[in-house]
Amino acid sequence: MSKKNRTGILYSTDPDFQYQSDEQPEAETLPPAQQNLKIWLVKMGGNKVVTTVREFIGTEADLADLGKQLKSACGAGGSTKDNEILIQGDHRDKVLAWLTGKGYKAKKAGG
C-alpha cells in the first residue's frame, strides 16, 4: 500500500505498529461447480442491449479471464467491471450453454 492512501495515522511511537487498511481482502475464487451465476439482459440507452453475468465470486484476474473467454465464445466485445461481465448484444443462450458446458451453475434471470 502506498503511503498516499493512508489516512488517520500521522505518527506512532509504538515500534511494533502495523498500519491497518480499510480495504477488504480479495475473495478467493470458488470452483465452477460452486458458482451461482445469473445471466441478465440489460437495455442501455439508444436501443443497445448488453448480456450481463453477475454474482461471480473470485479475484478480479479470474473475472477478467472468464470475461475474455465468454467474449471470444460469443464473438462480441465487452468488459468486466464491478464484479460483472458485460457482453455487447443478446447472447444469453450462448453464454448459458458455454458456462454450463464448463461446469458452472448458471441460469437466466430477470424478466
Residue-wise pLDDT for 2-27, tens only, equals: 555 556 666 677 888 777 666 666 67
User: How much is the pLDDT for 29?
Assistant: 85
28-108 adopts what CATH topology?
A: Translation Initiation Factor Eif1 (3.30.780)
List pLDDT tens digits, range 42-93.
998 888 999 999 999 989 999 999 999 999 999 999 999 888 999 999 999 9
- What are the domain boundaries of the chain? 28-108
Q: Which phi and psi angles does 77 have, rounded to 5°?
A: -85, 175
User: How much is the pLDDT for 49?
Assistant: 94
pTM for the complete prediction?
Answer: 0.74
Given strand 105-108, what is the order of strands in its sheet?
78-81, 84-88, 48-54, 36-44, 105-108
